[in-house]
Structure formats: C-alpha cells, structure tokens
Structure 1
Amino acid sequence: MRTAAVRSRDLWPAREDYRLLRRTWRKDVLAGITVGIVALPLALGFGVSSGLTAEQGLVTAIVAGLLAAVFGGSNVQVSGPTGAMVVVLVPIVATYGAAAIAAVTLIAGVLVMATGLLRLGRIVSIIPWPVIEGFTLGIACIIFLQQVPLITSPHQAAPGEHSSNAVVAAGQSLAAADPVYLAWAAGAVVIVAACMLIAPRIHPSVPGSLIGIAVVAVLAALASSPLATIGTIPASLPAPSLPSIDPELLGVLLPAAATVAALAAIESLLSARVAGSMADTGAFDPDRELVGQGVASIGASLFGGMPATGAIARTSVSIRAGARTRAASIVHALVLLAVVYVASGPVGMIPLAALAGVLFMTAIRMVHTATVRSIMTSTRSDAWIFTITAIVTVSFDLIWAVLIGVALAAVVALRGAARTTGVALEPIQADPPSDLDSSIVAVRFQGPLFFVSAERVQETVMGVGTPSVVILRLARLERVDATGAQVLAQIVRSLERRGITVLIKGVRDSHSALFRRVGVLAALRHHKHLFVDFDGALEHARSHVAREREQV
C-alpha cells in the first residue's frame, strides 16, 4: 500500500501546479472570465441536446470544470459537457431515461479514474491523425443534426419517439415539423449565427454567441413568440447526493458507462495533447489527466450532472486569451457559478432555438476544410480511413468508429511494413568464378520478417528450383517475430526434404536466441552449416557440390 501511494503521488495536486501563478495571475483571471462567458451557452446547449436539462449542463460545467482544473494533468485544459459526449448520451437517455445518467456518470468516472491509476494514459498516442479527424467530422455532423428537433417543435420528443440515430431523428423531426414554429426558430438561428460571424470581426474578445442569444431572447419576449425557452433554473447548486444505482440495472448500465468512459478518456487526452502544442504551458501528464477527469465526472454525478471531458474549443479560447496555469480554468468555473447565483432568471428565458443556433455554428466550426483537404489528398489509404471513420461515427457508434479506424490504420501500416521485407534469389557472382556456382543459389533477406510478410517470403524461397546448395543470407534481416522465425525453420526443413543442403550465413546476435528456441538452427542438417561470413559459406557450398559431382 505504501509503495503504491508513493508511486501515485505524481497523480495528485501539488504546490508545483501553481509555480507560475505570481507572474501570470492577471492573464489567467482574464482568460478564465473570457472562457467562462464562451462556455455558458455551450453548457446550456449541450445539456438540452443530451435530452437532459440546461441546468444539468451548467452544473456539470461548474463542478467538473473546477475538479478537472485542480486534479487534471494539464495546466490549461478546460473541461465540461461536450458535443462528443452528447452524441453518446442521447441514445442512453432514450433507452434508460434521464434518471440513469447520474449513475452512468458515476460509473464512468470511476472507470476513467482507474484507467489513470493503472497508467494507461499513453494509449491515445496510437490513434492516427486521419482517425482523429474523421471522428471529429462525424461528431460535428451529429451535433448539427441533433439540433434539428430543437427548431421544428416547441416540445422535446419523448423517449423512444425519435430514433437514437441522429440522421433518422432529424428526418423524423422535419417530417413532423410545425411550419410556423420552424420559421420562428430558423430566424433565431440566423440571428445567432450572424452575431457569431460578425462579432469576432469587430474584436476577437467579443462573445458573439452571448450577444446572439441575448438579441434573440429580447426579440422573442417583445414579439410574444412561440419559441420554447430553457425554463426555470434554480438560483443555487443542488445539494450533493450519491446517485442511486439499481443492482438489477447495473449490468445493463455498465456497457453504456464503459462507452462514456472510453470517450471521456480519448477526448480529454486528445484535447490536452492539442492544447500542449498551442502554447508553452508545460507538459501534461496523461495519467493524471485521466485521474482528474474521473474525479470530475464523479463530482458531477453527485450534483446530478452529466459526464465531462476536456473541451478543445474552450481550451483553445482560454489559451488564446492568455491562460498559462490551471487558475484560468478554475476562474472559468467560478464565473459560471456566479451566473447560477446572480442570473438564473434571465438564463431561464433563453429560447432553445438560440442555443441550437450556437451549436449549429459550433458544429460547423469543428470542421476545418484545409484539414479535410490535406487528408483527402495525402494518400489513398489515409483518405479511406478518414472517410470510413466519419461514416461509422455518424451511422453507428463513436467508440466503434475509433476502433475500426485504428484497426484499418494498423492493417495499412502492417501492409506497408510487409512491403519493406525483401527476399531475392541471387546467382553466385564470385571472383574468381567457378563452374560449381551454377548449382548454388544465395537467398538474401532484407528488412523485417514477421507474420504479415512470412507467407510471401516462404513462397518466394520455395521457388528456388533444384540447386544442390542454398545459402540463406540473413545479415540484413531486421526485426523478426516468432512467425517469421517459424517460417525460416519451415523453409530449411522443406529444402532439406527436397535434397537441397541449406547453409545459413550472418545470424545476428539479437536473433540467435529466438532462432534457437523456435528451431531454425536445429533444422540445419549439420551444426557446421552456420557461417559468419559469405566467403566461408561459399567455400563450403562449393566443396559440397564437388563431392556430389564426384559421386555421380
């Protein structure tokens, strides 16, 4: 226990986290206020889009944002509800109801925290760029489509009324749309979108989304519009309590929680990695980041919130505003907390269509055409991986999309590595030449020899014909796995059964133990058929051919 505690000491908050605060606190406070303003409409919108409430989204941004800032492994990561998590939560709410989310959030938080304690944070580094971008494109499409029900009817769909698939649900909503309501909602979306486009041109720090929401809220109130609003938001945080978990539902909720945990881990680590490349804010600890995100989701569940992850959009805003320590993320959470206690009344009057407008624009801004163009014009395999990952994300499931994308990338990588394996049948070209050399063939191996290329190598060598002696030249053979070594042993045995003497030249020290264990060396007819240099092997081969000819 004591040893484990010492080893995990670097996974918890320390005074060192705030060593730069004396020099950067002014910029951190300003950045925290800025990102808090930006996060408000997103927190409200993601709460509603998940099938939950705006209050739950706001509570999550406050509690999880604060805990992740203190316990996380990044100095600048801003956490809260995100669009990717919304995509996962919608079908869970439709299947198990909104009451199950707190339990799912708690279980997922424990799983994410355990992943960090087990030091599995580096796993995100295996996700290739085309998979990440395809995943992002798919999420953007789903977020966009999930807003359609908010602008077609003043009433949220009851669980099971619409499909859990965003594409199908958007079509169902449009088919049953109220034309009058749709016209009002579309107008609200246009106003918000226009404000978000124009405001940054006036000044980068102008919060276009908040201005758009405020304009729509005022116009909707003055014109007595039919637009549905957020509704009453409590003027304080709810009292914390442990979510009730029905033992009978535990087995059913575990797969859903595992999906949420996997997504939270992947998105948080990707966000933190991108944030680390945007500014010199210090290296991030992926294992501590997972512990922090796990603590954040556990804390959010105690207040009835939803799962949280690192949010790259809000993190980027914070960094561009000058954030250099985790104090900025803490201030962001405090700003949102102040909104609850001071402005819950006005927030409750915000039309849902205005939040939909913010999320429509958020989804559009997630897709960078230059990035898509770069991937699609890079290599054919990367273009296919990007496209398939995006399609699977939209059509089926986010986690499956990542797994399939990584699997495809692995197949492509293995295929490329297999092509670097070279095997060539070479006639003997020695100086001085000998008429005996016509009965000798050298087989040169080059590059790695592993399971992907093993069959092709075996087929090539076995087409050697009917020489008296075959010399296997292995000096340029690189990495060899057990399958590759087994194939070499099979080649030696097969050639020997055909009456062909096999000599092996140039076994590397790093390969000798594997070859001995697998039986490559034991397959040779004689232990003296192993050579260090080619001249010695060739001399022995010529003597063997000469003896055969004398016997004839």
Structure 2
Amino acid sequence: MNNPQIPNTPLGRIKLFFTFFDSRWEDLTKDNWIKTTYQDFSAGLIVAMTAIPMAMGFAMAMGMRPEHGIIAGALACVIGRTFGGSKYQVYGPTAAFIPVIASLIAKYGVANGGTFEIAHGFLVLVSMISGIILIIMGIFGFGKYAKLVPNSIIVGFTIGIAVSIALTNFEDILGIESFKDFLGQDEDIQGGLIHNIRLSLSNINIINPWSIFLGVLTFILAKFLLKISIYIPGPVVAMGTATLLSATVLSDKEIILVRDLYGSIPNNFFKIQLPILPTFSSSVAIDIVYYVVSIVFVSGVESILCSSMADKLANNNKTPFNPDKEFFGQGLVQIITPLIQGFPCTGALARTATSIKAGAKTPLAGYFKAILKLTMAFYLAQYLELIPMACIGGILIWVASNMIKVSEIKEIKHLGKFEFSMMVYTAVMVPVTDFLTGVLSALIIYFIVKNAFKREKKVSV
C-alpha cells in the first residue's frame, strides 16, 4: 500500500482537509466513471434500505425519537464523506453511542424531572465541544494515536456494548410498555447489568408472548437473509414481515407499535436544535467532561478502526485512509449533525462492510445512501410508525449478536493470558458499570502493567 502524502504542519493539514477531490476519488476515472457510479449507487441503495430500521432502533434505544436516527444517519454520511479521510466509510448511528447518549437523555430528560428538549440541547452542547476537540486533534496530527488503543480492549469494549444493547432491549422484546420496580413505579431498563436483570425478573408476569414471537422472527430473518445474499436487505424484509403480521393476524394481541410510544413520525426532518446548558452546577460540569470524553473516544477509536477495516476489506492497494482528516471530518459530524435534529455519529462497521461487499468504490456511495435513505423515509413515514417495538428490539439484538465475533476473541486469546484477561475485564466492566469507567479503567491497568513488564525486562537484562 502506498504511503499517503500527509502534510506535517497544521496549515498543510487544514489545506488538505478542505480539498474535496483528493486521493479518496482516485478510483473514479474518465474510463470507468459510468461503471463506478452504478456500483456506488447500487451499494448506496442496499445500505440505505438496511440503515433505516437500524437507525430508528439505535435512536429509540438512546431515548431519542425514530426520525432523529433517520436524519442523523443521512447527515452524518454527507458530512463524513465530504470531509472524512476514508474512501469507503459509511457514517451513521452506531451501537457504541447507545449507552452514552441513553444515559444523558435519561439523566436530563423527563425521567428525572427535565424535558426532552433540555436533554437534547445538552447533548448538542457536549457534542459540539467534542467536535471542536476532534477538529483540533486532526489539525495537530493526533489521528495516529487512536491506533495505540490495544485491540484486546477494543474487542472487550465491543462485547460489553453488545451485552448492554441486548439487556436494554428486553422491554421491547417482551412486549412491556414500561418496567415496574419492586415498589410498582415505572422505571426504564437503562442501568447497569445487575439493575437490568433485577428489573427483567420482576416483570416476567406481564410479558406478551406474541411480542416475543415477533422479536425472535425479526432476529432470525435479519440474521440469515443477509447470509444468503448481501443484496437481500434482511432488516427491511424482517421489519416488513413483522409489521404485516402485527397489522393482520396479530392485530388483536395488544402488540406495542412505534406510534404507541412516539406518536406519528413526521417527514419534515430538518429542524434546528440549539445547544442548551442546564442550570450550572458542579455535577453538570462533571457531566460535560464525562460526555465530551466519551464522545471523543468513541468517535476517534471507532472511526479509525472502521477506516482501517474498510481498507483491508476493499483490498485497497492505493492510498490508505488519512487518520488526521478522519478526525477532522468526525469533528464536523459531531458539530453539525446534532444541531439538525440528530445526535453524535461515527463510522459504522457493519454498514461500511455491507457497502464494500455491495461494490462501493468511492465516496459517491455515501452520498447515494444519504439521499436514498431520506427519500424512502419521507414517503414511508406514515408506515414506519406501524412497526412493532418488538421488531425494533429484534433488529437491535441482531446488531448486538453481530458485534461479538468468535474469530476476534480467538485472536486475542492467542496474544496471551494478559491480553485475554484485559478483554474479559473490559467486556464485564462496560455493562456492569458504564462505558467510560470500564474502558478508562482498562486502559489505565493495561499501560501500568505493560510499563511494569518493560522495567522488569530492563532490570533482568
């Protein structure tokens, strides 16, 4: 693979960051532009169909509205494809952000005496601060440092997030509109592992078996149709099947639909949500630091990881992705997307892989995905509200199952007992505590132990 021409000065990087037709477009030539454009359009269409149910599911799992996921995925892809550093990466809502955003919305929203507008505005504020930090990091060449995060911790973090997603979707799969605690009060399943298990066990008596059936059916269809062919949009087929069943043969089974919780889904997607600072206090200041660090970490690590994976998957033997430009693009995504009725997004591993397998060659695929996604959602908005919540839960369980890869676990195991133990530690701590506590504590332990080993080797030599 050729070495990219990355400037060594901040001014040189800024000039490159605002260069639209750079090396990311090198596979689009006068000789192949018709074929390449068709391949990118086809890939964009496949990803757009797959992304709509996933984006809605991610948004609702975060405590946002379904349409927020649709607009966030489309906007993030346009901004990321314009200013990012990868030829192939698909940007949008990702599972790694679910626990981060869900905890913010729960803490500052209706559940704790606030309003959704205040919570969303606070999310916009911390996301914009994160975006500014990411832009500065890109300008000063910090992209390369994201690669220093150990793979054992990345895999453990991914497993932990998958477990968290699975646990937070019990409510939808079981057909329960809201969980009750032991005192009979409504409570969301948004806490740690022990909290979620306790709530689930205390609500077994009010589950809806037909809801479980739709959730399992959705999971099976989404899981196995894509294995038959990448051109079969498994999540869309699953969503359509579950929606049809709930509207016909299961119409009298009291299955909870999207509209029962969120009302009608509007198709006027573009609205401005300005940043809001809640009444300032020491706890708010701590939360600002916590959420900013979380967003920067997820954006930086996941986008670099996704870009690197994309180059390998596409057998890119030309110019590789630019990590500094990727940070810059991520910064703009985090500043602009939440402002227009969205939320933080980053590189999406599964959708990027789908896009490449479907034939994507240039950033055009991302633009096609965004346009087609908004177009389909605009005309389907009145039908999207009829989707069973169990279907959304099934899709997110499918996403969670795809995040845990046996091959990656085996690779970590071959690296030695220490690397494997760090993977297990991170995987357990993320759902038991919270995202940032689990990851940061793992990083601290990892580098302390590694430095201690290095000192011992020097002394022995």
**Aligned residue for 2:387?**
350
Partners of 1:26 and 1:316 lie apart in 2 by 18
Measure the CA separation in 1 of the matches of 2:407 and 2:131.
Answer: 35
Matched AA of 2:232: V
* TM-score after normalising by structure 2: 0.85
Change (3 A) 1:407 1:215: same
Which residue does 2:311 correspond to in 1? 276
Q: What is the distance in 2 between the residues matched to 1:102 and 1:160?
A: 27
Q: Kindly tell me: are residues 86 and 241 of structure 1, through their superposed partners in 2, closer, same or farther at Cα, counting changes over 3 Å?
A: closer
Select the structure that is richer in strand.
Answer: 1
* Residue matched to 2:272: 240
Deviation string for 1:79-135 (max 9, x for gaps)? 111111001112111111243233333333233223222321111121112111111
> Alignment partner of 2:208: what SS?
helix
8 A contact 1:237–1:340 mirrored in 2? no
Name the counterpart of 1:127. Answer: 149
Counterpart mapping for 1:469-508 below 5 A: none
Which residue in 2 is equivalent to 1:392? Answer: 429
CA distance in structure 1 between the aligned counterparts of 2:170 and 2:224, rounded to whole angstroms: 24
* 2:232 pairs with 1:206: yes
1:173 & 1:152 partners in 2: Cα distance? 12
Shift of 1:220: 0.4
Name the stretch that deviates more: 17-26 or 323-332: 17-26
Q: Are 2:367 and 1:330 aligned?
A: yes
CA distance in 2, matches of 1:176, 1:345: 35
| C-alpha distance 258-382 of structure 1, shift in aligned 2 (>3 A) | closer
Which residue does 1:192 correspond to in 2? 218
Provide the rounded CA distance (Å) in 1 between the counterparts of 2:431 and 2:287. 22
The answer to which of 324-333 and 17-26 deviates more is 17-26
Offset, 1:283: 1.0
How far the C-alpha of 1:168 sits from its partner, in A, is 3.5
Give the conservation status (yes or no) of the 8 Å contact 1:381–1:412.
no
Q: C-alpha distance in 1, partners of 2:189/2:52?
A: 28
- CA 1:243–1:373 in structure 2 vs 1: closer, same or farther (change >3 Å)? same
AA in 2 matched with 1:103:
L
2:81 and 2:367 in contact (8 A); partners too:
yes
The total of aligned residue pairs comes to 422
Q: For the residues of structure 2 that align with 1:182 and 1:103, how far apart are their CA atoms?
A: 39
Q: CA deviation at 1:60?
A: 0.6
Deviations 1:193-225 (A, max 9, x none): 221233235433211111111111011011213
Q: 1:64: how far off? A: 1.2
Q: Paired residue for 2:5? A: none
1:135-177 deviations in Å (ceiling 9; x for gaps): 1111111111111122334435699924642424432442343
**Do the aligned partners of 1:83 and 1:139 also contact (CA within 8 Å) in 2?**
yes
Letter in 2 for 1:273: S
350, 360, 363: which one pairs with 1:313? 350
Structure 1, unaligned runs of 5 or more: 424-445, 447-552
1:278-317 matched pairs, under 5 angstroms = 278-281=313-316, 282-317=319-354
The verdict on how the C-alpha distance between 1:418 and 1:305 changes in structure 2, with shifts beyond 3 A counting, is same
**Deviations 1:23-45 (Å, cap 9, x if unpaired)?**
32221111111111111111010
Whole-angstrom CA distance in 1 between matches of 2:220 and 2:305: 30
Q: TM-score w.r.t. structure 1 length?
A: 0.71
* Distance (Å, rounded) in 1 between the aligned partners of 2:439 and 2:409: 17
Q: Over residues 290-318 of structure 1, what are the superposed CA-to-partner deviations in whole Å (9 max), with x where a residue is unaligned?
A: 11111112221221211111111111111
**How has the CA–CA distance of structure 1 residues 162 and 169 changed in structure 2, closer, same or farther, with 3 Å as cutoff?**
farther
How far 1:246 moved relative to its partner?
4.3
Pairwise CA RMSD: 2.4
Residue 187 of structure 2 aligns to a residue whose secondary structure is: coil
Q: Secondary structure at the match of 2:64?
A: coil
Task: Kindly provide the amino acid, as one letter, of the partner of residue 280 in structure 2.
Answer: E
Unaligned runs of 5+ in 2: 1-8, 110-115
CA offsets 1:261-307 (integer angstroms, 9 cap, x no match): 22222221221122222223431111111111111122212212111
